[in-house]
Amino acid sequence: MTDDQELAGGRPSGPFRLGDRVQLTGPKGRLHTITLREGGELHTHHGVLRHAQLVGQPDGSVVANSGGHEYLALRPLLRDFVMSMPRGAAIVYPKDAAQILAEADIFPGATVVEAGVGSGALSLWLLRAIGDEGRLVSFERRDDFAAVARANVETFTGHVPANWDVVVGDLAEELNDTVAEASVDRVVLDMLAPWECIDAVAEALTPGGVVVCYVATATQLSRVAEYIRGTGLFTEPDANETMVRGWHVEGLAVRPDHRMVAHTGFLVWARRLAPGAIPPEVKRRASKSSYGDEDVELWTPGAVGDRQITDKNLRKRVREAERAAEGARQASGRSDAPDESA
Ligand SMILES: C[S@@+](CC[C@H](N)C(=O)[O-])C[C@H]1O[C@@H](n2cnc3c(N)ncnc32)[C@H](O)[C@@H]1O
């Protein structure tokens, strides 16, 4: 174990130590998050809890304050931390982070690039997944957001990981000056316009490497998927979204929660082909960098995936519909044809 890992927060288990973050659930479920300090105290109108009472206690202990009120003490899990940490930009929710780790196939020792770093939520998940042997290079256009992300990562892990670089700048401009060609195993893009970065990503990714884009809207999803497809440098893009519905489980009252986070974003991902490789049966389309009038013209039913009915089939459906209407008319005792003069 390295010195860094010995620092508070480096190891999220074992008895509480000075420097650990601890989540306390007090009377009526009230939450307090504290960092254990020499001589530290939590003052509430229920009394005083001395930090020293927690040091050396196992995670998950219950301690009482000076007023006899009990607190359950637990180290926050990563998902607890990211949901409550300070945010510069919207974060990747834990359900999506988990899915990104799976679809991007993030592995211990991987070299990973992400952009933008935003508040650092995804950075924390990536750092955990790549481990000490991996390398994470995070790009962020805004230095104020990068500062929030650095602080959040330091707060949670207790140090700024030596295998993490934050580059302030635009990924499309900085990536190929920062990493060697074909040297990156995985790229995760969480930004408004990921298609602007795909060319740079294609150069940085190793053959077989994975790019995953996390986007909020279906129009972004379509645009980035078409851009990836249009380069001819990747496998066919795949896409999905993750919906997680919580359940209430109490006695016989076992049912889905009444509320859920219905939408966060979509994932689209593809793998870098070897140079010059042309996979069998891949439909190639022109690369699109923007939507213009001519694109709108292309939004025909066929282009948006609607199956076109043949004339013969349509005539059959008309006959079916007319027969059904005739049947309904007879059943209701109206044998007359509809009054077309009305
Ligand atoms: C939704 S936030 C990212 C949140 C982050 N993944 C997290 O989990 O906390 C999007 C970020 O991308 C940054 N960004 C947008 N386009 C970028 C680009 N081309 N290069 C670098 N950063 C970019 C924005 O400044 C913003 O901070």
**pLDDT > 60? residue 286:** no
pLDDT at site 299: 61
**Protein residue with its CA nearest to atom 1 in ligand 1:** 90
Q: What is the predicted pLDDT for the residue at 4?
A: 38
100 lines ligand 1 (CB under 6 A): no
Q: State the Cα–Cα distance between residues 15 and 236, nearest whole angstrom.
A: 49
Interval 256-279: pLDDT, tens? 999 999 999 999 999 999 999 998
CA–centroid distance, residue 171 to ligand 1 (Å): 10
Is the CB–ligand 1 distance for residue 191 below 6 Å? yes
- 90 CA: nearest ligand 1 atom: 1
Q: How far is the CA of 151 from the centre of ligand 1 (A)?
A: 16
Nearby residues of 301 by Cβ (< 8 Å), 6 or more positions away: 308
User: For 308-335, what is the mean pLDDT?
Assistant: 80
Q: What is the mean pLDDT of residues 324-334?
A: 79
Distance 332 CA to ligand 1 centre (A): 63
Q: Could you tell me if 275 and 208 are in contact, meaning their C-beta atoms sit under 8 angstroms apart?
A: no
Looking at the domain 81-291, which fold is it? Rossmann fold (3.40.50)
Is the C-beta atom of 20 inside 6 A of ligand 1?
no
> Residue 326's pLDDT is what?
82
Q: How far apart are the C-alpha atoms of 290 and 81, rounded to whole Å?
A: 38
267, 213 Cβ separation under 8 angstroms = yes
pTM: 0.83
> Of all atoms in ligand 1, which is nearest to the CA of residue 92?
8
CATH of range 3-76; options 3.10.330.20, 2.30.110.10, 3.40.47.10, 3.40.50.620: 3.10.330.20
pLDDT at 303: 60
- Distance CA(108)–CA(3), nearest Å, equals 20
Ligand 1 geometric centre to CA of 200 (Å): 16
Residue 119 CA: nearest ligand 1 atom is 9
Query: Distance between CA atoms of 222 and 256, rounded to whole angstroms?
Result: 32
Q: Percent of the chain scored above 70 by pLDDT?
A: 87
Identify the pLDDT of residue 8. 39
Longest dimension (CA), the chain: 93
What is the structure's pLDDT at 302? 63
Q: How many CB atoms lie within 10 A of CB 147?
A: 15
Q: For 328-335, what is the mean pLDDT?
A: 75
